[in-house]
Amino acid sequence: MNQHLPDETVQQIINKLDSQAQLRRTWALVGGVSAQVTAAEFEQADGQLQRVVIRQHGAADLAHNPHVARDEYQLLHVLYTGGMSVPRPLFADESGAILPSPYVVIAFIEGETLFAADDLSSYIAQAAAQLAKLHSTHWQGISFLPASAYATWFQERPTTLDDSLQEGHIRDVLEAAWPLPAINPVSLLHGDYWPGNLMWKAGKLAAVIDWEDAHLGDPLEDVAITRLEMLWAFGQEAMEQFTRTYQTLASLDDRNLPYWDLCAALRPAGKLSSWITDSTVRHSLREKHHVFVEQAISKISSNSSR
């Protein structure tokens, strides 16, 4: 979804913010497969230029939650006012008066996502600190968020398993252990905390974006997702540094982390080819995924023998 909304439509939307605003330009932003994202620059009545982002969620998100735009706005409001590095939410509209499906408007974030950092240690430290802050804060007004859906993953196996990512073996281990004992307080989770959702400017983490997968659950679920993504993006030592830094700040009971690592390892099963078109990159990610899975299973075996 890399097309942007028509200018006349965007003009109507920004007029909800400022009736005297004059649209200057629009451009598409990458929204993955989940949303159509349009950036807009407009001139206010006083001559100042402002930029906003219009995020219109796709059919899959709406099928899962028809109020995903409203909920994203409400969550961003809680996080922004609570001091998290997130985009400032402006409004959500699910009336259908301008667009046929709900959308949320947020302030434009100056910055970029990075998959190569000049100071990787600082990158990792800041990413870990922001996630620890998310998990360690007692947020008010988020009861509308759903609980983790991992329990449903093991109710019925897919007809076809992804042998290239050891899906059957992973499921064997998890099905034998599920449900995991609740040993950490339930907290707010981002649900997709990876380098592609971290915006950077001048070496500083400017914002965590794309909160449509937010839910409530064990913080280790988020940690495991990020561990695999850090391994994929930056390698083993970066993953370990992220884990050490996070654990120092969050002080969680990490006994179940190997199981959550396996849950994270299930996420790309059957999807990696659609995520990554380059066969050489896919091969590299599969090799790192194999190491990640084997480390988790080895840890589980070691803990069980004690």
Q: Give the full edge-to-edge strand order of the sheet including 49-57.
A: 22-29, 35-43, 49-57, 103-107, 89-93
Q: In angstroms, rounded to a whole number, what is the distance separating the alpha carbons of residues 120 and 51?
A: 30
Q: In angstroms, rounded to a whole number, what is the distance separating the alpha carbons of residues 114 and 118?
A: 10
Please give the pLDDT value at position 82: 96
DSSP string of 108-127?
Answer: PPP-B--SS-TTHHHHHHHH
Q: What is the pTM of this model?
A: 0.94
Kindly provide the residue ranges of all beta strands, DSSP E only, lying in the chain, ordered along the sequence: 22-29, 35-43, 49-57, 89-93, 103-107, 187-189, 198-201, 204-208, 215-217
Please give the pLDDT value at position 35: 79
CB 225 within 8 A of CB 193: yes
- State the architecture of 7-107 in CATH terms: 2-Layer Sandwich (3.30)
DSSP string of 21-67?
Answer: -EEEEEEEE--TTTEEEEEEEEE-TTS-EEEEEEEEE-HHHHHH-TT
Please give the pLDDT value at position 31: 58
Name the DSSP letter for residue 178: P
Listed in order, the ranges of the chain carrying CATH 3.90.1200.10 are 120-304
Question: Per residue of the chain (306 residues), what is the pLDDT tens digit?
Answer: 457 899 999 999 999 999 999 999 999 987 555 678 999 999 998 899 999 999 998 888 888 888 999 999 999 999 999 999 999 999 999 999 999 999 999 999 999 999 999 999 999 999 999 999 999 999 999 999 999 988 788 778 899 999 999 999 999 999 999 999 999 999 999 999 999 999 999 999 999 999 989 999 999 999 999 999 999 999 999 999 999 999 999 989 999 999 999 999 999 999 999 999 999 999 999 999 999 999 999 999 988 766
Q: In angstroms, rounded to a whole number, what is the distance separating the alpha carbons of residues 124 and 117?
A: 9
- State the architecture of 120-304 in CATH terms: Alpha-Beta Complex (3.90)
Listed in order, the ranges of the chain carrying CATH 3.30.200.20 are 7-107
